[in-house]
Structure 1
Amino acid sequence: MAELHFYTGTMDSGKSTLALQTNHNHAARGRVGRIFTSHDRAGQATISSRLGLFHDAEEVVDEFDFWQFVVTTLTQGGRIDYLICDEAQFYTALQIEQLAKIVDELQLDVFCFGILTDFRTRLFPGAARLVELADRMQVLQVEALCWCGKRATHNARTEDGVMVTEGDQVVVGDVEQTGQPPAEVAYEVLCRQHHRRKLTAARAKAVSMAPEPLPFG
């Protein structure tokens, strides 16, 4: 029986890598799949992994209709055995419902990959609907780490190196790289404690070098 799968974790936990590996495993057995993504760090119509892997994909915009796409492809003689849906947190709730319909009515496996919450610790609409509808939900076992060494559970956004908790929900950026200057908009994974304190790696380093004690407010 076909199923709707949802693999989730924080940024930097290997979701896109797993998406590409899942596609490879199924394609190696002769199955034909279609790959989708939205707002990937590498640009439109591309799924990319921080390990350096890339693959062409269909870009999912708000007006995209999964059901219409699949039905049209099948009725025109195309073959689809499964769907790989990366960055699924950016999909609309309606699009997630379309994916569930594809599983139920067309018996195609759908594999979704995405984060649960935004930089404000609020659920993305697409992720929330996946939690409600998925047949299987799995938290990735590759744990991203906060700068303090604890398991990272929250995604933080920084602007010019300063953590922010207000702004548009979707702004494309990437996880900051050690030793490189901060991007205008970047992301960092933190444990809950340091996300609540807005204590990023850069700020922790700065305050540790200052005479004042760490702020615990």
Structure 2
Amino acid sequence: MATLTYFAGTMDSGKSTLALQMNHNHSERGRRGVIFTRSDRAGEGVVSSRLGLRHDAVEVTDATDFWDEVIGRRTRGVVVDYLVCDEAQFYSELQIEQLARVVDELEVDVFAFGITTDFRTRLFPGSARLVELADRVEVLQVQALCWCGRRATQNARTIDGVMVTQGEQVLVGDTAELETGVVGYEVLCRRHHMRRMTATSARAVSPSPDPLPLDRLPLDLDVCSVPPRRPG
């Protein structure tokens, strides 16, 4: 039976790479599918990975109806076995419900990939509806890392390297430039997201820490230099 599966993770967790790999694996077995995306940083109508992989895709807009997309293709004699839906966090709640209907009534597998929360740590509407409706939610196993080395669980928006917590929910990074500066994104652990401490601000606080002086080492060098006593 067809299933609706949601693959969720932060930025840098490999979701677009996995989306393209999923499409490759199914197409290699003779299955035919359609790749969708919305607001990819590489531009319209393309799925791109930070590893350099790219693939043409159908751009999702507010007017996209996934039921009509599949029915229209099948009416023209095009076989549709599965859908790969990247950047699914940007889809509307209605569009997620359309994907669920495609699975249940047309027996088409749907593999959705997206970011769960925005830069304010709030659920995207599309992601929230996917969690509610998906047959299975898979957390991506590739762990993104905060600048401190801990697992990154939060997505932070920056303007000229400074973290912000207000603004439009959807704003594509690496391409958008506001009057106040260039928009970027960074993944952080919860601790540093709460403290609004990005890699840039951390370097500003402590650009290159000096080695700890010997008189402040947390051990007693004299004790360590005493030879061990022989038993007996």
TM-score (norm 1): 0.92
* Distance in 2, Cα, partners of 1:174 & 1:127: 22
Q: 200, 212, 216: which one pairs with 1:202? A: 200
Displacement, 1:73?
0.9
Report the counterpart of residue 180 of structure 1 in structure 2: none
> What are the equivalent positions in structure 2 for 1:24-173 lying under 5 Å apart?
24-173=24-173
* Distance in 2, Cα, partners of 1:158 & 1:210: 23
Provide the aligned C-alpha RMSD in A: 1.5
Report the counterpart of residue 214 of structure 1 in structure 2: none
* Distance in 2, Cα, partners of 1:26 & 1:66: 20
Displacement, 1:33?
0.5
**Secondary structure at the residue paired with 1:100?**
helix
* Distance in 1, Cα, partners of 2:49 & 2:101: 28
Displacement, 1:209?
4.0
* Distance in 2, Cα, partners of 1:27 & 1:42: 23
* Distance in 1, Cα, partners of 2:88 & 2:208: 42
* Distance in 2, Cα, partners of 1:174 & 1:27: 31
Q: Between the two proteins, what is the percent identity of the paired residues?
A: 69
Render the CA deviation track for 1:49-101: whole Å, top value 9, x for unaligned. Answer: 01100000000011111101111111121110000000000000000000000
Report the counterpart of residue 187 of structure 1 in structure 2: 185
Gaps of 5+ in 1: 176-182, 212-217
**Larger-Rg structure:** 2
One-letter amino acid of the counterpart of residue 183, structure 2: V
Tell me the matched-pair count: 204
Report the counterpart of residue 5 of structure 1 in structure 2: 5
* Distance in 2, Cα, partners of 1:120 & 1:43: 24
* Distance in 2, Cα, partners of 1:62 & 1:146: 33
**Secondary structure at the residue paired with 2:35?**
strand
* Distance in 2, Cα, partners of 1:170 & 1:102: 26
**Secondary structure at the residue paired with 2:155?**
strand
| Runs of 4+ with >6 A deviation | none
* Distance in 2, Cα, partners of 1:150 & 1:62: 37
TM-score (norm 2): 0.86
**Secondary structure at the residue paired with 2:29?**
coil
Gaps of 5+ in 2: 176-180, 210-232
Render the CA deviation track for 1:128-158: whole Å, top value 9, x for unaligned. Answer: 0000000010000100000000000000000
